């Protein structure tokens, strides 16, 4: 689930849940997701209020007033949700933040590839991780530069967090499908017009996905057809599975041909 749009939805959810509420305590149900000690987490969170949030790519930073910001990363299966005090948290809940006035904010993560930690500052952490600009902050010139500098294929280039932060396996496929570009074409060979298309669709897909919130996506999206042989929503031809940089992707060979 968690690529840029998902993390943005989680960020908004967290803001909504913590507005006018204090964090009363932390309950770590599974310490494997912690990138800090329980004591430090407790010290930073208990009794504090959320003073601001920032998302960069797939990273979510939560400001806590004077204390160090919290960093949340969701791995492949993590998400944030809220429940009322009397409700049972879902299976695979790893960390529970008890909020004032009867609510709890939960980090749920089946595969435990997510991470919860504390950082000195969001800026420092972004720099330390070597993340590229957030995908929604990238202008056309920036995108063209990224493409020109890459010696790899389009899909792996878009997914490389050091070049552009936020796109993963699903949304890189979707963006390339909407832009009608072959995921395996060399990034450096993308023409000016193609780059323009890619930039437009990058923004459109991500913004629309954030709006969609909980899985409400347009019918014309490839997202619904992640099956070998499924029908392309654009031309009706068969969708094809391929491998690039060790990840499986889907594309429509007719719509996303090399010649565009």
Rounded alpha-carbon distances, angstroms, from residue 208 to 11, 175, 260 = 16, 11, 24
Taking the complex as a whole, the smallest distance from the CB of residue 17 to DNA amounts, in Å, to 21
Rounded alpha-carbon distances, angstroms, from residue 24 to 21, 73, 246 = 9, 22, 43
Which of 26, 28, 113, 140 binds DNA (CB under 7 A)? It is 113
Nearer residue to DNA within complex by CB, 18 or 172: 172
The answer to whether the beta carbons of residues 157 and 183 sit under 8 Å apart is no
> Does residue 129 interact with DNA by CB under 7 A?
yes
CA distance 133 to 191: 22
Which of 56, 73, 104, 199 binds DNA (CB under 7 A)? It is 73
Taking the complex as a whole, the smallest distance from the CB of residue 72 to DNA amounts, in Å, to 12
Strands 67-73 and 59-64: antiparallel
Which of 247, 253, 254, 260 binds DNA (CB under 7 A)? It is 247
* Contact track, DNA, 184-223, x by CB under 7 A: ----------------------------------------
User: CA angle 34-36-38, nearest 5°?
Assistant: 80
CA 162 to chain centre: 14
Residue span binding DNA (CB under 7 A) among the ranges 43-51, 98-106, 136-144, 148-156: 148-156
Residue 108 CB partners (closer than 8 Å, separation 6+): 78, 79, 80, 81, 89, 90, 91, 92, 93, 94
The answer to whether the beta carbons of residues 17 and 105 sit under 8 Å apart is yes
Which of 1, 34, 46, 254 binds DNA (CB under 7 A)? It is 1
Strands 247-251 and 59-64: unpaired
Buried b (16+ CB within 10 A) or exposed e, 68-85: bbbbbbbbeebbbebeee
Q: Decide if 16 is catalytic.
A: no
> Does residue 32 interact with DNA by CB under 7 A?
yes
Nearer residue to DNA within complex by CB, 98 or 170: 170
Residue span binding DNA (CB under 7 A) among the ranges 43-51, 81-89, 168-176, 252-260: 168-176
Residue span binding DNA (CB under 7 A) among the ranges 82-90, 99-107, 195-203, 241-249: 241-249
Which of 11, 58, 104, 163 is labelled catalytic?
58
CA distance 83 to 81: 7
The residues carrying an active-site annotation are: 2-3, 58, 247
Residues that bind DNA (CB under 7 A): 1-3, 6, 32, 57-58, 73, 75-76, 91-92, 110-113, 129, 149-153, 156, 161, 168-170, 226, 243-248
């Amino acid at each position: 689930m968690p690529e840029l749009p998902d993390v943005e939805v989680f960020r908004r959810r967290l803001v909504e849940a913590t507005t006018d509420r204090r964090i009363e305590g932390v309950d770590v149900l599974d310490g494997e997701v912690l990138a800090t000690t329980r004591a430090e987490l407790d010290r930073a969170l208990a009794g504090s209020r959320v003073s601001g949030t920032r998302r960069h790519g797939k990273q979510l930073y939560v400001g806590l007033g004077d204390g160090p910001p919290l960093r949340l990363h969701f791995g492949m299966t993590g998400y944030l949700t809220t429940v009322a005090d009397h409700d049972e948290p879902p299976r695979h809940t790893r960390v529970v933040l008890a909020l004032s006035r009867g609510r709890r904010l939960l980090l749920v993560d089946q595969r435990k590839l997510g991470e919860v930690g504390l950082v000195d500052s969001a800026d420092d952490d972004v720099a330390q991780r070597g993340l590229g600009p957030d995908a929604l902050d990238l202008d056309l010139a920036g995108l063209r530069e990224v493409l020109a500098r890459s010696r790899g294929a389009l899909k792996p280039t878009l997914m490389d967090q050091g070049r552009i932060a936020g796109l993963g396996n699903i949304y890189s496929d979707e963006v390339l499908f909407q832009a009608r570009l072959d995921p395996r074409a060399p990034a450096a060979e993308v023409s000016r017009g193609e780059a323009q298309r890619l930039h437009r669709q990058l923004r459109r897909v991500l913004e629309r996905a954030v709006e969609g919130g909980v899985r409400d996506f347009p019918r014309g999206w490839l997202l619904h057809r992640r099956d070998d042989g499924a029908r392309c929503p654009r031309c009706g031809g068969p969708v094809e599975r391929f491998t690039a940089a060790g990840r499986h992707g889907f594309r429509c060979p007719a719509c996303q041909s090399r010649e565009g």
